[in-house]
Structure 1
Amino acid sequence: MCYYVDAKLAKKQIKDAFGVGYNGPDYEGSSFVNGFAHPNIPIILDDNPDEAILGNWGIIPPWAKNRDGQKMTLNARIETIGEKASFKASVNKRCLVLVNGFYEWKWLDAKGKEKEKFYIQLDNDDKPFALGGIYNVWTDKETGEQLTSFSIVTTEANELMAEIHNTKHRMPMVLDKTIQEAWLDDRKIQDFSFPHYNPKLVAKVV
């Protein structure tokens, strides 16, 4: 799965890496972002691919009365994304989640009491890259506030990630530049699952 990312991105980094401006409040991010805190992270939406905005991690489906379920929607499994109530309305509402990397822990014993922490990136000379996400714009009926929230889509792990994430064998949908536009263009979502698409990743112990 994917619950911790490096999202310390300056406006210039977003512009240089993704060719878009950033439209939102001041944002510096952090090199260790915990999804369970429902942080704001820069994302690019399919209906406005020329700018980045802040999205809140943990999708809130259209029917939700409040934000209580966000801790359960940090990730969306690509195999069942069209079946789950929280995600099926957003299958074709795609976004790019902008990061420098993400973290995963390898279990060194059967019960996970000893673990090794890895930092994983797209193999692209240490530049920011995108994770595939889905999103929804949710309206709080009590306050009228609108919130753009997202989930990171996960797939079966490739060889490298299966070695690291050696319990559940999952990985986030890592998108290189050649496939980002296709993700936003609503191509059939299963086309992006492993092994149909297999990004080249690098990892190091941290």
Structure 2
Amino acid sequence: MCYHISLAVDQPELENRFKAKLEAGGSSAAGSGPKAGFLPVYHANAYQFPAWPIVTRQKPNTLRLYHWGLIPRWAKSTENADDIRSKTINARSESIYEKPSFRSAAQAGNRCLIPSTGFYEWHTIGSKKFPFYINLKDQPIFSIAGLYDEWADPDTGEIIPTYTMLTTDANPLLAAIHNTKQRMPCVLTPEAEQVWLHEELSEKDVLDLLARAYPASRMHSHSISKRITSRTEPSDVPEVLAPSTYAELADKPELFA
């Protein structure tokens, strides 16, 4: 599964890539306030439920800030919503029409693009875990398929927009890196991105599209330092992306691309 990503670009680059304007009045995961706009994010942890700029089918020309961790519109209370969102950071694409948390969003066609410049996964050897950064050779800024929903807080009436990231079976590179789960985000090709966002799709169309893992040959990966999980050093800094070597990985060329 995928709980750590980056979007290391500035607002003009992001808007140009998606031909969409960032919605006024919000601040990004890295923003310092409501007027900060979008600032580069080198590492975001999903369990902090960051606000993230996504592109929805409803407003394809706008980048809207939604919080990671989907709250379905049927959640009854704040306590119920908080419990659900910690379990809906990712959604297995194969079961989005079956799971109650995702079914209504999937059936309503609430599809979205999650912009990213890369994501993080861990390779496990015994009791040791080694962090990797994965990005694309052919798309500096790419999209991950997602579903979104909007939940009305019954206590305040506030509308809380949220999303989940879809995952699929890993390609050979990610299967080697993420060797405990062998899953990966549903990274979209530019062609699939347009289909996901704009076309009318049947349930079969959706499932077929999401089952196509992004080609390993078009991905790059390298191991990074364990700063990403440090409790004393900040991880949302450029240095977190820097390559770092480990003796234990020297005989595993399949992890690097």
Is TM-score (shorter-chain normalized) higher than 0.5? yes
**Structure with the higher helix share, 1 or 2:** 2
- Show the counterpart of 2:208: 191
- The answer as to 2:126 corresponding to 1:104 is no
Which residue identity is paired with 2:176? Answer: E
- Show the counterpart of 1:157: 170
- Show the counterpart of 2:133: 119
- 8 Å contact from structure 2 (residues 168, 213) kept in 1: no
How big is the alpha-carbon RMSD for the aligned residues of Structure 1 and Structure 2? 1.4
Deviation readout 1:135-187 (Å, 9 max, x if unpaired): 00111111111111000000010111101110111000101212111111343
- 8 Å contact from structure 1 (residues 58, 150) kept in 2: yes
Give the C-alpha shift of residue 116 in structure 1: 1.4
Structure 1 stretch displaced more, 8-17 or 63-72: 8-17
- Show the counterpart of 1:74: 89
Structure 1 stretch displaced more, 114-123 or 18-27: 18-27
- The answer as to 2:57 corresponding to 1:43 is no
Q: Distance in 1 between matches of 2:213 and 2:86?
A: 28
Aligned length: 201
- 8 Å contact from structure 2 (residues 115, 144) kept in 1: yes
- The answer as to 2:45 corresponding to 1:34 is yes
Deviation readout 1:92-131 (Å, 9 max, x if unpaired): 210001111100000022xxx2111111112225x11111
- Show the counterpart of 1:169: 182
**Alignment TM-score, normalising by the size of structure 2:** 0.74
- The answer as to 2:15 corresponding to 1:15 is yes
Aligned partner of residue 42 in structure 2, secondary structure = coil
Q: Distance in 1 between matches of 2:163 and 2:68?
A: 5
**Alignment TM-score, normalising by the size of structure 1:** 0.92
Larger radius of gyration: 2
Which residue identity is paired with 1:198? Answer: Y
- Show the counterpart of 1:134: 147
Q: Distance in 2 between matches of 1:163 and 1:153?
A: 20
Moved >4 Å (runs of 4+): none
After superposition, where does 1:84-103 map in structure 2 within 5 Å?
Answer: 84-91=99-106, 92-103=109-120
Q: Percent identity?
A: 34
Which residue identity is paired with 1:108? Answer: I
Aligned residue among 190, 197, 201 for 2:219 = 201
- 8 Å contact from structure 1 (residues 5, 33) kept in 2: yes
Q: Distance in 1 between matches of 2:135 and 2:58?
A: 27
Q: Distance in 1 between matches of 2:194 and 2:160?
A: 24
Aligned residue among 62, 65, 77 for 1:54 = 65
Q: Distance in 2 between matches of 1:163 and 1:17?
A: 31
